[in-house]
Amino acid sequence: MSDRRQFLSDLLSGAASTGILPAGIAALCGGSKPLHASEPSATPPTRFIFLHKGNGLFPSSLVPPSFNDQQRKAESQKDAFDVELDGHELPEWMRPIESHLKQTTILQGLSGKMCTTGHHTWCSSLGVYKANERLSSIKWATVDFELSKMFPSPFEHIELACFPTGGGNSRGNINGIEKGFSARGPQQPNYAFGSPKIALRELYKSVSQEVAARTQYQLDQSLLDFVASSETTHAEGLTGQERTKVANYADALNAIRQRNGRVEKMSERILENLPKLDNKYLGENLTTVERQEGFTEILLSTLISGMTNVVAFTLDELGTPYTGLPEIEGENVNQHDVGHGKAVGRFEATEVRKKIRRQHMQVIDKIVSRLKSIPEGSGSMFDNTMLFYFPDNGETHHSQGTEWPFVVIAGDQTPLNISGRYIRLPRYGEPGHETLGNWYTTVLNAYGNPIEHYGSPDVGLTFDQTGPIKPFLS
């Protein structure tokens, strides 16, 4: 039996590395049931895009410079207020998304002290619990995976990452498939693609025009068919824990077969929406900006073709070697040094931060503009899309978690009452204060998950922290 389990574990792990499995499903070898996607519906799907950054996000950097004295005073004192963005000027680094102002929300005042803070948070900011590099610290599925269960798709969830070379998750293998920043479930990390080249190869293998890739895909399918059938039969002769383990292997393999079958049925649509990547995006030595641009095309292709409805994209992490920024293209920007105030070339650290954030806004503008240009139902694809931009670790370089700023851009079909507004919630510890857990509970509730509360509580707060942010649902 141990040889059989080892063979199956090797098969599943190998499949994860070659694209047979959805990213991260090799974790099913531990015995968790796979999630199954439903057949496509005539109703346009709801889509979610999670974009997060390293090195914190200063709340002050999100304040419109056109605020009047009263608004500036309320902001400086972190007093709760709510104002329409229409008629206000966005901070200079946010100018690339000006055309999407009516769909934009600047959300200030959330806290996340129940998360891991400081330099790195791993999956904390998406899971709302203390997390580190150990699998045992992963308590439950991150919010992006909870949403992917509600709006299933053939690939369920896709994660892309501009990995760091030191600290954080990948520790050097920035072009491979490594543990990402999301989690499928308890002790089940997700896996992210580290380069556009490998994401293109693995995600689009079933429709590849290359003979070798198509041949390998067919061989993989035949092997899956044989082993899944064999294990299903074998499980019938077992009892107890051994039956459960073998049945889990068989279920995982069958889920992959079904996934591949759905993808094959979509091959025409996938081929119509293949990412258009120049050769420069398929190399090994990309600048960070090129990597982001290549991933943006992958992200759009997978959403437009219907391969997935949920994408998580790590734009950068604290240890990501930042290259390709305008006016300092030749510099390798160390974000840790920038976090400690070190200048880069002729630009002070605050200006370097602005350049990085502006690059992020250009990525967001491209995503939103493209989805707005594609008809769907009586409107566009973006009508049914919600995009989140937020810091991986809270408000600053050495974060405390007292603030966790968000920029949200949501289509017209969003059930949340927040669009086109600057919203500052009550400061930390004040009555009415809200946490990351309240925010994600609000999103889940709004889209149909009646969960009472998502995430861990903050032991430093003495009032009831459960439930959604009710004004956002009215």
Task: Evaluate whether 367 touches 296 at the Cβ level (below 8 Å).
Answer: yes
> How many angstroms separate the CA atoms of 203 and 20, rounded?
9
The pLDDT of residue 21 is above 60:
no
Task: Evaluate whether 372 touches 382 at the Cβ level (below 8 Å).
Answer: yes
Write down the pTM of the prediction. Answer: 0.85
- Mean pLDDT value of segment 19-36: 37
**Per-chain mean pLDDT for the chain:** 85
Task: Evaluate whether 434 touches 472 at the Cβ level (below 8 Å).
Answer: no
Cβ count near 228 (within 10 Å)? 19
Q: What is the pLDDT of residue 120?
A: 84
Q: 46-204+275-473 belongs to which CATH class?
A: alpha beta
pLDDT confidence band for 454 (50 / 70 / 90): very high
Secondary structure (H, E, C), the chain: CHHHHHHHHHHHHHHHHHCCCCCCHHHHHHCCCCCCCCCCCCCCCCEEEEEEECCCCCHHHHCCCCCCHHHHHHHHCCCCEEEECCCCCCCHHHHHHHHHHHHEEEEECCECCCCCCCCCCCCHHHHCCCCCCCHHHCCCCCHHHHHHHHCCCCCCCEEEECCCCCCCCCCCCCCCEEEEEEEEECCEEEEEECCHHHHHHHHCHHHCCCHHHHHHHHHHHHHHHHHHHHHHHHHCCCCHHHHHHHHHHHHHHHHHHHHHHHHHHCHHHHHHCCCCCCHHHHCCCCCHHHHHHHHHHHHHHHHHHCCCCEEEEECCCCCCCECCCCCCCCCCECHHHHHCCCCECCECHHHHHHHHHHHHHHHHHHHHHHHHCCEECCEEHHHHEEEEEEECCCCCCCCCCCCCCEEEEECCCCCCCCCCEEEECCCCCCCCCCEHHHHHHHHHHHCCCCCCCCCCCCCCCCCCCCCCCHHHHC
- Mean pLDDT value of segment 25-29: 37
Q: pLDDT tens across 411-449, in order?
A: 999 999 999 999 999 999 999 999 999 999 999 999 999
Q: pLDDT tens across 113-144, in order?
A: 999 999 888 899 999 999 998 889 999 999 99
Q: Are strands 375-376 and 385-391 parallel, antiparallel or unpaired?
A: unpaired
Q: pLDDT tens across 223-232, in order?
A: 444 444 555 5
Residue with tokens 């293109």: 200
> How many angstroms separate the CA atoms of 159 and 202, rounded?
12
> How many angstroms separate the CA atoms of 353 and 428, rounded?
25
Task: Evaluate whether 291 touches 195 at the Cβ level (below 8 Å).
Answer: yes
Distances (CA, A) of 335 to 292, 318, 390: 16, 6, 17
Adjacent-strand bridge partners of 390: 52
The pLDDT of residue 333 is above 70:
yes
pLDDT confidence band for 270 (50 / 70 / 90): confident
> How many angstroms separate the CA atoms of 327 and 35, rounded?
46
Q: pLDDT tens across 138-182, in order?
A: 999 999 999 999 999 998 999 999 999 876 666 668 898 998 999
Task: Evaluate whether 384 touches 45 at the Cβ level (below 8 Å).
Answer: yes
Q: Long-range CB contacts (< 8 A, 24+ apart) of 293-297? A: 293/363, 294/195, 294/196, 295/160, 295/162, 295/196, 295/199, 296/363, 296/366, 296/367, 297/196
Domain ranges of the chain: 1-34+210-273, 46-204+275-473
Q: What is the largest CA-CA distance in the chain?
A: 76
Q: What angle do CA 170, 173, 175 make, to 5 degrees?
A: 115
